[in-house]
Structure 1
Amino acid sequence: MLTLIKNADVYTPTPLGEKDVLIGGGKIITISADIDASAMAEYIDVVDAKGNYLVPGLIDGHVHITGGGGEGSFKTRTPELPLSDCIQAGITSVVGVIGTDGTTRTMANLVAKAKGLEEEGITCYCQSGNYHLPIKTLTGSLQNDIMLVHEIIGAGEIAIADHRSSQPTAGELARLASEARIGGILSGKGGIVNIHVGDGADQLQLIEEVVKTTNIPITQFLPTHINRHEELLTTGIKYAKKGGYVDFTTSCLDDEINDDNLKSSKGLKRMLDEGVPIEQITFTSDGQGSLPRFDKNSKFIGLGIGKVVSLFNELRDAITEEKLPIEKVWKVATENPARILKLDNKGTIKEGNDADILLITKDSFSIDSVMAKGQWMMSKKEILVKGTFE
């Protein structure tokens, strides 16, 4: 069967106006002002999307798909990501990472979970390693991981400026970035090094030292949690103006929600107002990751859990509250990560691309329907496909 979505207000994320979109074989076949399906009516499922935006499905580039945490001992290890969490949040592509725990959270488990989410209907990749250097890889080599394992597209999340990091040197980080870069070049993958930035005073200094003292380009790194606090956000603006990528984390602890400096939607507006190109910015959820709280002596005192739905919520707030245009906002979780991570056929509504599509109700700006690789996963707010054990 083919699927014809009619009368939608299409954003690629560039606005096209009201168009019809024909889908078949998991791909977008054509986009046109008026597609007549009457001659093939018995082979086409027609969906009237009048009153809806049609936009690319979200790419969440930083999710603890196998669970995360453990900073408060074994009982605080967070659970695996269920498929339905992604579907309800409009996420059609995910990149899995390992965080603090590189002992019980293994690369074999991460790759297996990525394969499982693929089998359940969405696209899933992962990064090799965790907070600490040297990283623990799947094959014994980061370059081999990236080149030979389909799901592995880069390295991370590597921790800097954090008491939980391995306190890496610039030389260690440069060597890792070099291996990731070569692996990416030889395999056609992004080879990006995903950097967890803690609340240490050194902030992004280690990355900047590597860029200054080696031939590794600043674009080899993607530092995340850039909206952790005011000082880091300010540093991130300067870093992005130098050509670096910066990533906002949309999940936060409950009592931080009202802190304007920590809201990704507000931080995005500030960066744009200060002249940062939208192409340098991404949003990710840190879903299923632990959100630990430490006192001034770095002693653990509490913990929350990241939610993938926060990604859509912050995009919505950037549009409805900060009054930023959809075509800019939607890039930070679709077109931009697809380009930076080299996720071919993802991130834009384009002929030949994967049919990863959201229908968003205009009046309430809520997710109405979700399509991943040409299959409806949710329709009219009803989940059609759930995880195997949900």
Structure 2
Amino acid sequence: MLPNIHAVFIEFNQYLTTHLQKKHWVFVLSFLVFLLFSVIYFPEIVRKRIHNDWTHNDQLMQQFVNNKIENPLKPTLNFAPGEHYRKRDLRITPYIIANVFHLNALRLFYLQLLLLPLFLFFSVSLLVQITKSPPISFWATVALLFSYVGNSFNYDTLFYDSYAYFALLMALYFSGNLFCVFFLLLSYFVDERSLVPSMIIPLFVGLTKYSIETTKENFKTFFQKMIWQNRSFWMVFVSMLVYVLVRVIFYINYHLNTPVGANSGVTIGLAFKYGTKLPYAIYSSLKLNFLLIFCTCFYLFRKQYYFVGLWFLAVFLMSFLVGTAVEDVTRSLAYSYLLVYIVYLISIQIKENISNFIYFIAFVNIFTPTFTLLLNLYKVEAFSWLIHF
């Protein structure tokens, strides 16, 4: 006899409501989800390590990363500007971490795996603060986990974008103090694409402090509350300023730069050359969380929250432009996931009941495949490791 799925789901949500008010239970659940998720998406690089099954490209990648770990500030001028290796010269946060803790390329990836339960913990904790609803907080995090944002912790081998995803979440979580600056700088030096979504942090803090209704006031009042008197805005501004200054210093002293120009592999709309492959890549970055973003944009303008709507929409559009200006669309667009936290914050302020919609999104995200686009469309397979054992 089949169990009553609806009754089990209700009971599980009740369990979440009872236990996720306590931090240690949040971490226990996060670790259990991490273990289950890792079984579903067994890291391919771990399998290759067990069987010593490395391709020539795998070996080149490891050699490049290990060289950068040994000399993080040594430029890779021997590569052509369009090569992805050249774009990684200033993405030095992972290499410095590995250098300090004496890790190699593979161990740096294993450390990335261990960041996933922490990512889950801070995501659930932050959403519990916002929504006051442990079930929504849990399933909203699951909805992200089964998009590329979560998959990257297991799948993204030797690119280390997950360090940036994690640092952005930590910057949002610690947006009220100077830890925010520290984590923003870490994320910027994993990948410069995190600069754009970091601008959502001042909006998040402003809407946490002030009711969304106050944003209908004139622009002068909005500017004073959300920008001039918003400490987090200045922390993001200082982070960006420090980032630019450090990049200038690195360029002058170490000749580190990010290639630009016609042959750099960065052009507005570059990814559209992939035609029908592109929608799969775009969808996989956030999956049905995109619906939340689109619905929020529509709601903000329909209700005449124009200043908030323009800020929110501008961050999304800039993330989209940056994401489609390169070939690795999926990982680029995934940086915009901070927008999802704004959605929940706004939905609580306007007292909209979106719980059933969130459950639907979570389950659709679980049962739909994730693709990443880098020259070709690759499917992140669940249980693919089983065929190799």
Is the pair's TM-score, using the shorter chain for normalization, greater than 0.5?
no
The TM-score, its normalising length taken from structure 1, stands at: 0.32
Using the size of structure 2 for normalisation, the TM-score is 0.32
| Structure number with higher helix proportion | 2
- Give the number of the structure whose residues are more often strand, by fraction: 1
